[in-house]
């Protein structure tokens, strides 16, 4: 696969300061880090070339937004070499954890090393723009090897695939985290078959949902309020198994989101203090095994 040319778009150079104050211990459960290429070159054969977005820029963003914890998701742009993510975890040991990209054939010793470095799960993509996927039955079988580590599977799929993947996901021996609200299209409405199936899936106790990607689901643009009803419905279905993330630096997106706007949207997504505490603090603390905060 020939890599796409470097994009003209980058992350927002000066995101707004949110008016919404995040609770203590808030977690951004979905970000990526890219480069610098001199130390962490992009993978040959990658399907896209992102902007450089090094860890220092991520740390500055989180300081501005009031985010204390983070989940760094290894990107296909860096392939199976998880060292770029591993460096971020080492720099924020305990406060930032990682999701690895691996093949099911990875050795036990390599998995244990990633666990010791702070990784908590493995991601598998079922998105056409990210290349050929691993067969879902192989992914679920691989999940058996993750159970002893306390890891989970993270699955990223096109919305229409929820119908064909659901049965396999319900056989998973470990928790399953579904990315970006199942990549729904907000213009299709709450009654669309894809979202209906996602809600049905979310009622199973092994399924977790990331309420990230409002900027991808929206068809109205910022401040992305047309995506809010979908996130609120998922909180209704699985309030103790929802997570939230910025998806910084927003790769493969046709516009540059303001991460301060995404934080302010949380006031609509999770209007009660109890919902925000679960979404941003308690749920990620439980799934990612962050150290509990003092009451």
Question: What residues are annotated to the active site?
Answer: 247
Between CA 174 and CA 165 the distance in angstroms is: 15
Residue 236 belongs to what H/E stretch?
helix 228-238
- Other CB atoms closer than 10 Å to residue 5's CB: what's the count? 8
List strands edge to edge, sheet with 176-178.
27-31, 69-73, 96-100, 119-126, 152-157, 176-178, 207-210, 242-243
Between CA 8 and CA 109 the distance in angstroms is: 40
Between CA 194 and CA 161 the distance in angstroms is: 8
Between CA 18 and CA 15 the distance in angstroms is: 9
Measured on CA atoms in the order 286, 61, 256, 120, is the torsion positive or negative? negative
Pairing of strands 27-31, 119-126: unpaired
């Amino acid at each position: 696969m020939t890599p796409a040319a470097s994009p003209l778009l980058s992350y927002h150079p000066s995101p707004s300061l949110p008016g919404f104050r995040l609770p203590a211990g808030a977690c951004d459960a979905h970000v990526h880090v890219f480069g610098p290429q001199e130390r962490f070159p992009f993978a040959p054969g990658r399907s896209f070339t992102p902007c450089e977005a090094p860890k220092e820029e991520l740390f500055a963003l989180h300081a501005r937004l009031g985010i204390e914890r983070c989940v760094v998701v290894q990107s296909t742009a860096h392939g199976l070499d998880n060292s770029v993510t591993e460096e971020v975890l080492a720099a924020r040991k305990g406060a930032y954890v990682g999701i690895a990209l691996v093949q099911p054939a990875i050795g036990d010793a390599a998995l244990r090393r990633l666990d010791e470095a702070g990784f908590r799960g493995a991601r598998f993509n079922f998105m056409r723009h990210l290349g050929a996927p691993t067969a879902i039955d192989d992914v679920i079988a691989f999940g058996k090897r993750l159970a002893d580590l306390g890891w989970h599977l993270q699955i990223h799929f096109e919305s229409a695939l929820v119908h064909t993947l659901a049965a396999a996901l319900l056989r998973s021996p470990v928790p399953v985290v579904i990315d970006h609200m199942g990549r729904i299209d907000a213009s299709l409405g709450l009654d669309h078959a894809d979202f209906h199936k996602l809600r049905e899936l979310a009622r199973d106790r092994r399924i977790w949902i990331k309420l990230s990607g409002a900027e991808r689901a929206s068809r109205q643009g910022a401040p992305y309020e047309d995506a809010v009803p979908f996130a609120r419905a998922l909180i209704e279905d699985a309030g103790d198994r929802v997570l939230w993330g910025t998806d910084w630096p927003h790769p493969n997106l046709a516009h540059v989101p303001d991460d301060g706007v995404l934080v302010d949207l949380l006031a609509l997504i999770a209007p009660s203090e109890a919902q925000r505490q679960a979404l941003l603090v308690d749920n990620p603390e439980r799934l990612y095994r962050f150290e509990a905060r003092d009451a």
